[in-house]
Amino acid sequence: MEERILIVGGGIAGLWSALALAKSGRSVTVIERDPPAPEGEDSADLAFTDWERRGVGHLRHSHAFLARLHKHIREWHPELMQDLLAAGCREIGFADNLPLALRETYVPAPGDEELTILTSRRTTLEFVMRRYALRQPGIEFVTDTLVRDVLTETRSGRLAVTGLAIERDGERQEWPADTVIDAAGKNSQLIDTLNERGAGIEEKTERAGILYFTRHYRLHEGMGEPERNKVPSAGDMGFMKYGVFPADNGCFSITIAVPEIEMELRKAIIRPETFDFICSQLPGVAPWTAEDRSTPVSKVYGMGELISRWRKLADDDGPRVLNFFPLGDSFIRTNPLYGRGCTFAAIEAETLVHAFDRTENPVARATLYFNNARGALRPYYSDMVKQDKAAIRRARNALDPDYRPKLRNRVIRSFAEDAITPALRGDTALLREFMRAFHMIDKPSEFLRNPGNIAKIMSVWARGKKRNARHYPPKLGPDRQEMMALLDLPATSDWERLRDAA
Ligand SMILES: Cc1cc2nc3c(=O)[nH]c(=O)nc-3n(C[C@H](O)[C@H](O)[C@H](O)COP(=O)(O)OP(=O)(O)OC[C@H]3O[C@@H](n4cnc5c(N)ncnc54)[C@H](O)[C@@H]3O)c2cc1C
């Protein structure tokens, strides 16, 4: 008899897992608490303005989709790629993102096509994916339906999931299942419920250390995007990181990430006029938001409580729960700055289907899924957590007027700023290797393990600042003191408060 698979949540992870399982000939039912997207003439715009998604708080924050995700769609769902492009989603190639100096001498190399990213409003990607999923045999969507509980029993001393309790039109129903996929996102309650019943699923969380602020804009009729200039449209200024996200159908968004400890800045930036003023001070952003080019079409969305979280569902004794597979943010959460969440979910869906195709034994299936997901994703996760910790330290030091870095820290900083950065900005082949790791085509360790890459970086470092001058990034905008003064905000109060609290 065909196994009954229930998927909790029809967001990104629910969609990737439904599409992957249906492709392998299985039938799935996706249970989603929110209503379907409104259909109409300008569906992508309607999805952005009118789609009620109380279940996804970050739906209207900037999203970009890594090259690894683009590859997943190309290889697993080529027709979906056609739908996405037809709806206005954009492919941005490796050459399009090169620093200007490298673009002039760029010669395409085999593999560069693998470094194409996909961009759109998140609502557009999700709405097109949903519409495509609904056309696939084997995928059923049940919307406006809340999963309230998970049904369990104990089998041979292990907790096993046997179905879900759902609420529909105010009525509770129990739906039996052979497999439950938890794709209910970062606030999913299912693992907490299973732990209350003794599952013993451990998790480790790390702070991302930032808050996200996003505003959306639309280009005026007939107006194109600005020419890329010397100052990049994304950058890290220490006290803030910024990025322009080109999107579909003449839209784009800007996200400014502010360290959690920048209390004054984070309070001020939520005001649209302050957000736009900051944009006007950043040479890589200002041409986008200039009044004669575009107009804002949303409020400033703010989001905090950003964490990275890894849940350990299997250990040496095997899986903690049988017939239960979390995917997406309910399994692994990542700092949004890296743009990896949707790609992680797609790789988990690939891993899940491989495990399902290999065996029907519940213990072996779960063990395969969790071990392989760990092998595929943990290196990127660990690398990210390490970088986040360093960024949190840097943001804190930036507030301390008495901070004097120790020799070791000065060397590390110089290696990043005077070796890696100018080396990448001056060498297309090196940047290509770096991007392959960033976009999850290669493992992160491969870049620095390659002796050729290290030799190039070290020789740039040895050449010294003066001879590398043309490969340093231009000034991205006012420094912290200047920006705080421009915004009429106290520059030191945060540090005094922090120090007093310590
Ligand atoms: C600010 C921000 C920016 C980001 N930017 C990027 C980016 O640029 N690129 C990228 O790849 N990733 C990005 N991410 C991460 C990415 O958005 C997430 O990893 C992704 O949404 C995870 O998908 P998911 O399906 O697990 O969860 P979600 O997309 O949150 O979907 C969960 C779904 O489950 C439903 N649901 C929840 N509870 C229930 C219930 N009890 N019953 C029924 N349905 C339920 C919800 O309604 C929702 O539809 C960003 C994240 C944030 C917070």
- What angle, 0 to 180 degrees and rounded to 10, lies between the N-to-C axes of helices 12-23 and 341-358? 30
Residue 413 CA to ligand 1 centre (angstroms): 34
Which residue's alpha carbon is nearest to atom 53 within ligand 1?
58
Which residue's alpha carbon is nearest to atom 51 within ligand 1?
336
List beta partners, residue 241: 236, 257
Does ligand 1 come within 6 angstroms of the Cβ of 329?
yes
**What SS3 state is found at 437?**
helix
**144: phi > 0 → left, psi -120 to 50 → alpha, else beta; which?**
left
Amino acid 197: pLDDT: 96
Residue 280: which residues within 8 A CB-CB, separation 6 or more?
Answer: 286, 289, 290
Give residue-wise pLDDT tens across range 111-158: 999 999 999 999 999 999 999 999 999 999 999 999 999 999 999 889
Mean local confidence (pLDDT), 162-184: 97
* Rg of the chain over all Cα atoms, to the nearest angstrom: 24
d(CA 131, CA 142): 14
Amino acid 493: pLDDT: 58
Which residue's alpha carbon is nearest to atom 47 within ligand 1?
55
Q: Give the chain's end-to-end CA distance (angstroms, integer).
A: 62
Give residue-wise pLDDT tens across range 196-212: 999 999 999 999 889 99
Residue 307 CA to ligand 1 centre (angstroms): 13
Spatial contact of 28 and 5, defined as CB atoms under 8 Å apart: yes
- Average pLDDT value for the chain: 94
If one residue of 52, 61, 188, 343 were mutated to test the ligand 1 pocket, choosing by the most ligand atoms within 8 A of its CB, it would be 61
Question: What is the atom index within ligand 1 of the atom nearest the CA of 9?
Answer: 34
Give residue-wise pLDDT tens across range 79-98: 999 999 999 999 999 999 89
Give residue-wise pLDDT tens across range 218-267: 999 999 999 988 899 999 998 999 999 999 999 999 999 999 989 999 99
pLDDT(278) > 90: yes
> Would you state the structure tokens that stand for residue 495, as one six-digit string?
């540090």
d(CA 212, CA 302): 6
Query: Predicted confidence band at 100 (pLDDT cuts at 50, 70, 90)?
Result: confident
Amino acid 420: pLDDT: 94
If one residue of 7, 15, 33 were mutated to test the ligand 1 pocket, choosing by the most ligand atoms within 8 A of its CB, it would be 33
DSSP assignment of 93-146, as one string? -TGGGS-HHHHHH----TTGGGG-EEE--HHHHHHHHHHHHHHSTTEEEE-S-E
Question: What is the atom index within ligand 1 of the atom nearest the CA of 145?
Answer: 43
Which of 417, 431, 425 has the alpha carbon at shortest distance from 464?
417
Amino acid 501: pLDDT: 54
d(CA 71, CA 116): 8
Does ligand 1 come within 6 angstroms of the Cβ of 303?
yes
Residue 185 CA to ligand 1 centre (angstroms): 5
Residue 10 CA to ligand 1 centre (angstroms): 9
**What SS3 state is found at 244?**
strand
Residue 12 CA to ligand 1 centre (angstroms): 6
Query: Predicted confidence band at 497 (pLDDT cuts at 50, 70, 90)?
Result: low
Give residue-wise pLDDT tens across range 413-460: 899 999 999 999 999 999 999 999 999 999 988 888 899 999 999 999
d(CA 181, CA 44): 28
> Rounded to 10 degrees, what is the CA torsion of 95, 99, 102, 103?
40
Does ligand 1 come within 6 angstroms of the Cβ of 33?
yes
Query: Predicted confidence band at 499 (pLDDT cuts at 50, 70, 90)?
Result: low
pLDDT > 90: what percent of the chain?
85
Give residue-wise pLDDT tens across range 357-388: 999 999 999 999 999 999 999 999 999 999 89
Q: 354: buried, middle or exposed (CB in 10 Å: 19+, 13-18, 0-12)?
A: middle
Does ligand 1 come within 6 angstroms of the Cβ of 349?
no
Does ligand 1 come within 6 angstroms of the Cβ of 456?
no
Query: Predicted confidence band at 307 (pLDDT cuts at 50, 70, 90)?
Result: very high
The CA distances from residue 300 to 213, 267, 273, 481, in Å, are 6, 12, 10, 24
If one residue of 15, 52, 60, 63 were mutated to test the ligand 1 pocket, choosing by the most ligand atoms within 8 A of its CB, it would be 63
Amino acid 500: pLDDT: 60
Residue 184 CA to ligand 1 centre (angstroms): 8
Query: Predicted confidence band at 404 (pLDDT cuts at 50, 70, 90)?
Result: confident
d(CA 103, CA 98): 6
* Helix/strand/coil (H/E/C) assignment for every residue in 340-384: CHHHHHHHHHHHHHHHHHHCCCHHHHHHHHHHHHHHHHHHHHHHH
Query: Phi and psi (nearest 5°) for 259?
Result: -55, 145
Residue 51 CA to ligand 1 centre (angstroms): 15
Residue 205 CA to ligand 1 centre (angstroms): 17
Does ligand 1 come within 6 angstroms of the Cβ of 342?
yes
Does ligand 1 come within 6 angstroms of the Cβ of 142?
no
pLDDT > 70: what percent of the chain?
98
Question: What is the atom index within ligand 1 of the atom nearest the CA of 303?
Answer: 1
Which residue's alpha carbon is nearest to atom 18 within ligand 1?
341
Question: What domains can be seen in the chain, in order of their start residue?
Answer: 1-63+121-205+308-401 (3.50.50.60), 210-303 (3.30.9), 407-501 (no CATH)
Does ligand 1 come within 6 angstroms of the Cβ of 314?
no
Residue 306 CA to ligand 1 centre (angstroms): 13
Does ligand 1 come within 6 angstroms of the Cβ of 246?
no
pLDDT(391) > 90: no
Residue 11 CA to ligand 1 centre (angstroms): 6
| Percentages of the chain per state (helix, strand, coil), in multiples of 5 | 45, 20, 35
Residue 380: which residues within 8 A CB-CB, separation 6 or more?
Answer: 340, 344, 440, 444
Which of 387, 304, 310 has the alpha carbon at shortest distance from 61?
304
Does ligand 1 come within 6 angstroms of the Cβ of 366?
no
Residue 502 CA to ligand 1 centre (angstroms): 35
Amino acid 419: pLDDT: 95
Give residue-wise pLDDT tens across range 3-60: 999 999 999 999 999 999 999 999 999 999 999 999 887 889 999 999 999 999 999 9
Query: Phi and psi (nearest 5°) for 142?
Result: -120, 110
Amino acid 194: pLDDT: 98
Does ligand 1 come within 6 angstroms of the Cβ of 365?
no
pLDDT(498) > 70: no
The number of angstroms, rounded, from the C-alpha of 33 to the middle of its chain's C-alpha atoms is: 22
Which of 208, 246, 328, 304 has the alpha carbon at shortest distance from 63?
246
